[in-house]
Each structure stands twice: as structure tokens, then as C-alpha cells.
């Protein structure tokens, strides 16, 4: 690994951390929320709009890009940054979660996973080595080790999946050829504290440039997720960024940061935007398709500084939704993404100022 990746812890307030993770495409100031660009696009949002929103990290999906248009084509086009015209840091997941979520369309063994494409039913196989090869073709700054997600409550399966994840991490490290990409190991183990601690210790020992926590926000309760984060927090290296995968409501971000998390991503803000819903910073959501908004002259959130809230009324947004205009998804996604991106920045400032506990109090559970 080159000096392209360094992590500096700039401030602490309780367990909350403000850091700086240096990558070849710029510094990530943490805490940070990453919009998800599954197929090399954040749905309904242009790269220019992402920059205006203050996004600094975007995630893309290995499984989907492997199937379409193909990782080799992306490499031919100069890699993901060039292909989708995003000049800032990028992260790719390993495809593990998507493959395992196929259920009866996939078959898992110690060597890897055989699965059928959700697009055309064709058969494919991912191994740790293949996952690294695909991600190196995609060329993001941060890539994930291939891991196995399990039912969070099923102890025996969680233990088996954790052991596979550990073995696969070592194989991913052996397979890595590019030193301009940071490989993160992933902590697994369901909701079981003993397994999670064992996994945290193993991944910490593997000495990857950062550590991801997978297999949460997959059906367990908030209390169970918080308990897992509290259990592994003391075991994770202080000098490595921590990434909680697939978690993205305002309360999840604040509660995650309070338990030592630095990086978040989630499809929720853009998915809500395509389904008529506006995320509220203080929690909850508005379904703007509802009739009472037809004559509402307020913005979504009078206290929000995003383009949507500074420009349009709830009545106009409802008109777009009822008329099935594409602009509704864009404007709602702008607001929802801004809500999480700005919340992360505000938490960072609160940590630097030593007032995170007071800032976070309305969200903490």
C-alpha cells in the first residue's frame, strides 16, 4: 500500500471521531455520508448536482457493474471516475451482499459463490480473487473484501459465514495487485457479540487500511445494531476509518457516530425520492403525494438550505408527483441527500468543537 492512504484522527468527543482519510482523488473528512451510485450513477442526480450538495464520496456496486456494462468495458473507458465523470473519492462494494441476497439463485461454498444473473438468468461465479479483479478494473479508491452475509439471528450460520469471510479476506489481500486502491476488511457475525468481537479482532490483525462493518441493518432491531457497535468499538484500531455499510437515516448516522463510526452509505435517500417521500432531518418523512400538500406553500423543511427547499413549495412537488414528472425524483433526492450529507458535516463540526453530546442528544437512543 502506498502513502496515498493515510488516516488522521483530528478530534474525539466521547466515542465520536472527526478524521481525515487521504485518497488518490482527495481527502475524505469524516464523519461522511456517501450517496449510492449502484450502476455508476446516483439515481436522478448528475455529478454536478452531487458536487453542489457537498458530496465527497460515492459508492458503486461491483455485482451490477460486472453484469452490465462489464468491468472490462469500464476499465477500457478509463475506470469508474472517468466513465461516470466523478473526480472525487469512490468506493466499490465486493458484490457479496447482492449475490447472497439472490437466495435460491446462488450456491455458496468455501471457494466462492455460483449465482444466476437477475438480468438474464445466466450463470456466473464470484471468488475472492474474482471480486478483487473486477474491483481493480473498476478502479475506485476504496474496495471491499469479498464477504458472506448471514441471517443475523442464526448463530451457526453466522459463525460459518464469519469464518468464510475471514478466509476470503486473506485471499483478497493475496489477490490485490493495485497499490492505489485501499482494501477494507469486513467484520461479520450477525447480532452475536462473541462472533462480532472475534471478527473485529481478526480484521484488525489483518491490518487493512480501513475496516467495514457488514451484516447490519438487515432485519435486526436498532438496539441490537447499537449493541454490536458498542461491543466491537474498543477492538477496532483507532488509526483506521470505520465504515458501517448500508445504514442511512438521520438517527442511524448520529447513533453510529456516537459509537465510533466514520463512514456511511445507503440507497434510502434516493429510493425515497423516487417514491414521493421527503426525509426530515429530525426523523420521519413526508409523503408528498398526499392530498393535504396540494395547497401547501411551505418548503419541505423551512430550516433546510438545499436547492429544493430554497426554491420550491410542497404544493409544486406534489404537482410533479401526481403528474408523474421525472423532476420530482430529482428534487426530492436532492433534499434527501443534502439532509444526510449536511448532517454528517454538522456532526464533524460538533466533534471538532467538543459539543457532540449536546448536538446529538435529540437523536440518541
Q: Tell me the pLDDT tens digit for each residue of 88-144.
A: 999 999 988 887 777 778 899 999 999 999 999 999 999 999 999 999 999 999 999
- Please report whether residue 38 resides in a domain: yes
- Please report whether residue 96 resides in a domain: yes
Residue 255: give its domain's CATH number.
Answer: 3.20.20.105
Whole-angstrom distance, CA of residue 20 vs CA of residue 31: 9
pLDDT of residue 1: 45
Total number of domains in the chain = 1
* Contact criterion met (CB below 8 Å) for 36 and 59: yes
Spot the catalytic one: 71, 93, 252, 262: 93
Spot the catalytic one: 13, 141, 265, 301: 265
Indicate whether this model's pTM tops 0.95: yes
Confidence check: pLDDT of 3 > 80: no
- Please report whether residue 363 resides in a domain: no
Does the active-site annotation cover 265?
Answer: yes
Average predicted confidence (pLDDT) for the chain = 96
Does the active-site annotation cover 93?
Answer: yes
Beta strands in 165-282 (DSSP E): 182-187, 210-213, 242-244, 263-266, 277-279
pLDDT of residue 108: 92
Q: Rounded mean pLDDT of 25-46?
A: 98
pLDDT of residue 306: 98
Q: Rounded mean pLDDT of 45-59?
A: 98
What are the grid coordinates assigned to 190, written together?
Answer: 450477525
DSSP state for residue 292 in the 8-state scheme: G
* Percent of all residues in the chain with a pLDDT value above 90, rounded to a whole number: 93
Residues 291-313 have pLDDT tens digits of: 999 999 999 999 999 999 999 99
Beta strands in the chain (DSSP E): 6-13, 16-23, 26-30, 32-35, 58-61, 90-93, 106-108, 113-116, 123-126, 142-144, 182-187, 210-213, 242-244, 263-266, 277-279, 285-287
Q: Rounded mean pLDDT of 264-279?
A: 98
Nearest to 23 by CA among 227, 198, 263, 285: 263
- Please report whether residue 357 resides in a domain: no
- Please report whether residue 62 resides in a domain: yes
- Please report whether residue 302 resides in a domain: no
- Please report whether residue 290 resides in a domain: no
The boundaries of the domain holding residue 58 are 6-267
Nearest to 147 by CA among 72, 243, 56, 40: 243
Residues 324-333 have pLDDT tens digits of: 999 999 999 9
- Please report whether residue 330 resides in a domain: no
Q: Rounded mean pLDDT of 59-69?
A: 97
Confidence check: pLDDT of 2 > 70: no
Amino acid at each position: 500500500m502506498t502513502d496515498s492512504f493515510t488516516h488522521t484522527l483530528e478530534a474525539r468527543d466521547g466515542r465520536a471521531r472527526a478524521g481525515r482519510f487521504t485518497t488518490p482523488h482527495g481527502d475524505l473528512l469524516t464523519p461522511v455520508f456517501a450517496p449510492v451510485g449502484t450502476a455508476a450513477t446516483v439515481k436522478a442526480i448528475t455529478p454536478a448536482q452531487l458536487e453542489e450538495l457537498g458530496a465527497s464520496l460515492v459508492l458503486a456496486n461491483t455485482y451490477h457493474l460486472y453484469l452490465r456494462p462489464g468491468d472490462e468495458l469500464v476499465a477500457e473507458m478509463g475506470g469508474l471516475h472517468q466513465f461516470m465523470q466523478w473526480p472525487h473519492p469512490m468506493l466499490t462494494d465486493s458484490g457479496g451482499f447482492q449475490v447472497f441476497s439472490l437466495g435460491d439463485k446462488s450456491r455458496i461454498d468455501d471457494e466462492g459463490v455460483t449465482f444466476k444473473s437477475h438480468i438474464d438468468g445466466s450463470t456466473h461465479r464470484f471468488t475472492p480473487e474474482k471480486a478483487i479483479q473486477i474491483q481493480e478494473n473498476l478502479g475506485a479508491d476504496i474496495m471491499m473484501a469479498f464477504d458472506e452475509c448471514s441471517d443475523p439471528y442464526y448463530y451457526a450460520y453466522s459463525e460459518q459465514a464469519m469464518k468464510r469471510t475471514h478466509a476470503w479476506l486473506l485471499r483478497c489481500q493475496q489477490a490485490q495487485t493495485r497499490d492505489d486502491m485501499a482494501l477494507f476488511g469486513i467484520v461479520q457475525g450477525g447480532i452475536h457479540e462473541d462472533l462480532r468481537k472475534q471478527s473485529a479482532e481478526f480484521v484488525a490483525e489483518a491490518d487493512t487500511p480501513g475496516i467495514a462493518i457488514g451484516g447490519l441493518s438487515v432485519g435486526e432491531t436498532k438496539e441490537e445494531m447499537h449493541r454490536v457497535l458498542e461491543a466491537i468499538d474498543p477492538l477496532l484500531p483507532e488509526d483506521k476509518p470505520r465504515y458501517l455499510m448500508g445504514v442511512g437515516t438521520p438517527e442511524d448516522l448520529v447513533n453510529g457516530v456516537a459509537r465510533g463510526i466514520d463512514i456511511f452509505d445507503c440507497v434510502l435517500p434516493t429510493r425515497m425520492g423516487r417514491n414521493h417521500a421527503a426525509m426530515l432531518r429530525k426523523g420521519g418523512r413526508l409523503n408528498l403525494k398526499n392530498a393535504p400538500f396540494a395547497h401547501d406553500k411551505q418548503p419541505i423543511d423551512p430550516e433546510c438550505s438545499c436547492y429544493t427547499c430554497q426554491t420550491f413549495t410542497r404544493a409544486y412537488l406534489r404537482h410533479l408527483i401526481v403528474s408523474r414528472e421525472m423532476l420530482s425524483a430529482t428534487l426530492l433526492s436532492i433534499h434527501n441527500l443534502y439532509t444526510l450529507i449536511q448532517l454528517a458535516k454538522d456532526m464533524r463540526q460538533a466533534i471538532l468543537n467538543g459539543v457532540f453530546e449536546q448536538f446529538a442528544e435529540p437523536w440518541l437512543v
